[in-house]
Structure 1
Amino acid sequence: MKTIFITGATSGIGKATAELLAKQGNRIIICGRRSEVLETVKAELSAFTEIFSLQFDVRNLEEVENAINSLPEEWKNIDVLINNAGNAHGLDPLSAGKTEDWDSMIDGNVKGLLYVSKMIIPGMKERNSGHIVNISSVAARQTYINGVVYCATKKAVDVISEGMRLELTEFGIKVTNIQPGAVETDFSLVRFKGDSERASTVYAGYEALKAGDIADSIAYCVNAPKHVCISDMTIYPAAQAEPRTIYRK
């Protein structure tokens, strides 16, 4: 049984991963911004295992530090960190981009991942064991028009994951970088700021990945034998050939 810390655990890939790993008997620390949603998810998952919830915004360093420092002693030894929290805002060319959208993506996708990791890595190094799973995107593999900043943040996740592996392997800490393709979650609804009609077109005409598909992949990596580290994994729906090319019916 592992103690697993998951950011962005109240919806989408994070929630699906928390549920699957909870059903496998691990102790789960679920993290998110909305306390009422956290409590609902905690109640659901408590049917399977021990659940602890932490309410904070990964973009706020003080909140991250206070929340993680508040963990009871019996929850402090984190075996697996899943850096899932992130966002995409807007789909505009740089010349028309909103700086608040850029800040949100850079702060959440890059700085938030760094803030949480910085708090948890020292304990893993002391114990000479651990596993960090970072959720990147196929957007890191190929930049696309009107998504430059989002793609840049996910490329940063790739680079950070590689750097973590270089720094942490000697301490027995595994690092896995997951690059999902098109996954049907609230991702596009957030990107298009609640425009459900526009968001639905992203997944029209083909079968996109589901959050559970990515959860399965994460679980495979986390449950691999001790001597095995899945360093990078790219996952596309069958209809997607590369980040910009999806074959629709």
Structure 2
Amino acid sequence: MNMLLQRLLLTIITIVSSVNVFSQDNIASHPRLLLKADEEKKIEKMINEDVNMALVHNAIIDYCNKAINEPPVEHVLQGKRLLAKSNLAFQRVFYLSYAYRLTNNERYLKRAEKELITVCKFKDWNPQHFLDVADMLMAVSIGYDWLYDALSKETLDLIEKAIIEKGFTHAKNDRYNGFYKRTNNWNQVCNAGLVMGALAIYEKNPKLSQKIIKSSVESVPLAMEAYGPDGAYQ
């Protein structure tokens, strides 16, 4: 999954770096992250034509059918990390949102919304270990973006507030934002989560989102040096 997020961030950086100002006028409507509107049709075609794609799709649906009956994640640290819970929330929201978009089954929507509400009401996303924040940002950003037209206004407002207060605010704090200067995967994963959050709520807070994106564009080249000179991670 980290490789997918790294590729996403590189794509974002390429787009953002090609314009002087990332304005609200040229951002796509929701959904805009990873799987855009109407691209479900392409996936449906692949499922019908490729047995391996069908296996992946069915595995995700099976996972979601089981997740419906599971309680939402809890704010429980393992040592100094919330990462296991953040990873679980990300997987659930990602898969449930996908399942809803491909099937229009309201059960998946309601279960995804339940997970989103739960994690957004956490006291924090453990900024002391910012990877935990990054993964939670990815979870709520995907859910917010992919389910935007189906979520209640109260849930959308809650997610927007959480992205800013539990994510962006801590990214500005020198106590927690050392990832900006790192040369390893912390840099890429943390920046990926922040950029996904910025793109998810961009039209609601464009100035703050622009600052988050700008900081990530300036930071990520530090980590990319680790892939030189021939594209392999050192």
TM-score of the aligned structures, taking structure 2 as reference length: 0.31
What TM-score results when the alignment is normalised by the length of structure 1?
0.29
